[in-house]
Chains A and B, each alone.
Chain A
């Protein structure tokens, strides 16, 4: 049950976030499609549907935001930056390394950095994961399935 200080407060945080996402994406769609030809209903140009749908998303965003402001307070839930940032960094690093440095370095980075996202991970486990999964990846993906990725930077 909500205690007294929360009782009078308004603002459904998940709804407000959703509204913000919709507004940003809708506006982005309108901006990206600003030069596209609309055409008419019989001969729809490339911009016809994208612009209509972008505007609709923007309107929904406004609606959700207003509803979120009026409904009773609801928190957004736990947000932990550690797994979020580490996992995104690990995958982004893989993307960077895959093209130039090759699979071995990319996979080692992905597994090594990615493992740090869980605070309980031990160093020995990370080392074992890197060795086992990299070898597994080379055998299954590169050799077995023939994924076109160089193994090393040379």
Chain B
């Protein structure tokens, strides 16, 4: 019965007026940025992170989470109607969704996408509620050696599942680690890597890096390419799918949900990877794969369910182990740190209202999104006509004031300019900035645990092999690394990401 008590606690926390309000704001903002191409959830979270400092901790997390999963709903709308995926995770939805819209079945595609997303969101929220306490209980027995191995495993997984070159991703993690170590060393009290700048003695603020790499750099890159606009295929006549649509879609929704929930848990996974894998899976199991690309409803249902399931279940490693699995989760970790919460297994124990409230709010948010998306679809489509040149100055204001407000100093804004330029260079060099952010937030944790473990073992690295969980994690990391060197696997991985970049 403890499970139900926890759920009741969660819902009673989530339905307070403040939390409901911020859940709605998050869902609305998420839909908005999902609809608008050129503004992704990662950048939005980075920009709004400083503002959450002024909110109560739970309301802040509820809003940020809402933005992330809300974007999965919103992204599919424009993918289907105008062949312009608002988010990377809805790129595959556009393939069959837009074809359906051209055939006059836009309503059916939108409805299936929204209903499938809602179903997937519900299932993976329950999954999070069930798996959370088990994993967290398991993690409570972790010592420094286990945490070190877990961090290494998480970071390595993130490089493999991220798109692009693995060696570059490892390099980016390294840069992130270095940046995370800037400031005063907790053990010896000496300054390091600060270049003598007093402003850096407390380390670099998470918000400065996030806004620079994801906010400012993204605006510059967006302005380099002229805006592309699709035309709305048809008027939406009937929103309700036919009986035949339902019959074809529900197995795809089920498969997508399962796949997405699983891939979301893996470090480096999340919404985008889930959607691409689900599309490939649907094509493989279909009896007539030729339908795909010509308006197959399974091609909408599977990926849409998967991206939402993946978005929800990627919260699991962060909330139970304290290890973020992708850049968005690193942002949430940043938000928790701003409020003085150390994410990890103890959160569930010490602040059960925070953990269960967030989970309950995710389900409520999914319900809100269903309402926000289906009846209000016309409104969101109108927003597409707002040109980017009017939007980005507003985003700039949010970026700058946000960075300034963290410690009320102009130095941070100047530092963000540097990271903006660096972020621009990274994009030109085809280096994903996500792993850098993961390295940055995990750097201090990695060093502390390595130091502790080595201090206990008096400098002998055998401590990592003698403890079974740590050994298993290290073997898994090594196996992943070896797998990557196998040419056949490397080739499949490259092929899997080719579609994504196209």
- Expressed in whole angstroms, the minimum distance between the Cβ of A75 and any Cβ of chain B is 11
Question: Within A46-84, which residues are at the interface with B (CB < 8 Å)?
Answer: 46-47, 49-50, 53-54, 56-57, 60-61, 63-64, 67, 76-80, 82-84
B420 touches A137 (CB 8 A): no
Name, among B392, B393, B411, the residue most crowded by chain A CB atoms within 10 Å (CB to CB). Answer: B393
The listed residue (A21, A25, A110) touching B400 by CB distance below 8 A is A110
Query: For the complex, what is the distance from the CA of A115 to the CA of B411, rounded to whole Å?
Result: 23
Query: For the complex, what is the distance from the CA of A118 to the CA of B390, rounded to whole Å?
Result: 10
Q: Is B287 an interface residue (CB 8 A)?
A: no
Query: For the complex, what is the distance from the CA of A91 to the CA of B404, rounded to whole Å?
Result: 11
Known pairs A80-B224, A88-B421; A29 contacts B193 (CB<8 A): yes
- Expressed in whole angstroms, the minimum distance between the Cβ of A109 and any Cβ of chain B is 10
Query: For the complex, what is the distance from the CA of A14 to the CA of B431, rounded to whole Å?
Result: 9
Query: For the complex, what is the distance from the CA of A149 to the CA of B397, rounded to whole Å?
Result: 14
A46 touches B192 (CB 8 A): yes
A110 touches B397 (CB 8 A): yes
The listed residue (B420, B430, B455, B457) touching A88 by CB distance below 8 A is B420
Residues of A within 8 A of B414 (CB): 92, 95-96
A76 touches B404 (CB 8 A): no
Q: Is A123 an interface residue (CB 8 A)?
A: no
Q: Which residue of B lies closest to A67 (CB)?
A: B167
The listed residue (A14, A33, A137) touching B397 by CB distance below 8 A is A137
Q: Which residue of A lies closest to B215 (CB)?
A: A91
Query: For the complex, what is the distance from the CA of A21 to the CA of B421, rounded to whole Å?
Result: 12
Residues of A within 8 A of B167 (CB): 60, 63-64, 67
Q: Which residue of B lies closest to A94 (CB)?
A: B400
Q: Is A7 an interface residue (CB 8 A)?
A: no
Name, among A60, A63, A78, the residue most crowded by chain B CB atoms within 10 Å (CB to CB). Answer: A60
Name, among A32, A53, A77, the residue most crowded by chain B CB atoms within 10 Å (CB to CB). Answer: A53
Q: Is B450 an interface residue (CB 8 A)?
A: yes
Query: For the complex, what is the distance from the CA of A14 to the CA of B344, rounded to whole Å?
Result: 38
Known pairs A17-B425, A32-B193, A115-B389; A53 contacts B178 (CB<8 A): yes
Residues of A within 8 A of B178 (CB): 25, 29, 50, 53-54, 57
Known pairs A22-B171, A50-B181; A90 contacts B392 (CB<8 A): no
Q: Is A145 an interface residue (CB 8 A)?
A: yes
A44 touches B454 (CB 8 A): yes
**A-contacting 9-mer, from B182-190, B297-305, B309-317, B491-499:** B182-190
B393 touches A60 (CB 8 A): no
Question: Within A88-141, which residues are at the interface with B (CB < 8 Å)?
Answer: 88, 90-92, 94-96, 98-99, 106-107, 110-111, 114-115, 117-118, 120-121, 125, 129, 133, 136-137, 141
B223 touches A17 (CB 8 A): no
- Expressed in whole angstroms, the minimum distance between the Cβ of A36 and any Cβ of chain B is 5
Q: Is B416 an interface residue (CB 8 A)?
A: yes
Residues of B within 8 A of A21 (CB): 422, 425-426, 429, 431
A41 touches B461 (CB 8 A): yes
Q: Is A1 an interface residue (CB 8 A)?
A: no
A111 touches B396 (CB 8 A): yes
- Expressed in whole angstroms, the minimum distance between the Cβ of B492 and any Cβ of chain A is 19
Question: Within B453-495, which residues are at the interface with A (CB < 8 Å)?
Answer: 454-455, 457-461
A53 touches B168 (CB 8 A): no
Q: Is B408 an interface residue (CB 8 A)?
A: yes
Q: Is B413 an interface residue (CB 8 A)?
A: yes
Residues of A within 8 A of B392 (CB): 114, 117-118
Known pairs A98-B410, A133-B394, A137-B401; A18 contacts B171 (CB<8 A): yes
A sample of 20 cross-chain residue pairs with beta-carbon separation below 8 angstroms, ordered by A number, consists of A15-B430, A17-B428, A18-B431, A21-B425, A26-B174, A29-B178, A40-B459, A42-B455, A42-B457, A43-B455, A60-B167, A88-B417, A88-B420, A91-B216, A91-B396, A91-B416, A95-B417, A111-B393, A121-B389, A145-B54
Chain A residues in the interface with B (C-beta under 8 A)? 14-15, 17-18, 21-22, 25-26, 29, 32-33, 36-37, 40-47, 49-50, 53-54, 56-57, 60-61, 63-64, 67, 76-80, 82-84, 87-88, 90-92, 94-96, 98-99, 106-107, 110-111, 114-115, 117-118, 120-121, 125, 129, 133, 136-137, 141, 145-149
Which are the 5 A-B pairs with shortest beta-carbon distances?
A: A42-B459, A83-B223, A95-B413, A18-B429, A46-B185
Beyond the given pairs A98-B413, A145-B54, 19 more chain A to chain B contacts, judged by CB atoms under 8 angstroms and listed by A's residue number, are: A18-B430, A37-B190, A41-B460, A42-B457, A49-B181, A50-B192, A60-B170, A76-B428, A83-B219, A84-B224, A87-B220, A91-B413, A95-B416, A118-B392, A120-B389, A129-B390, A137-B401, A141-B401, A148-B408
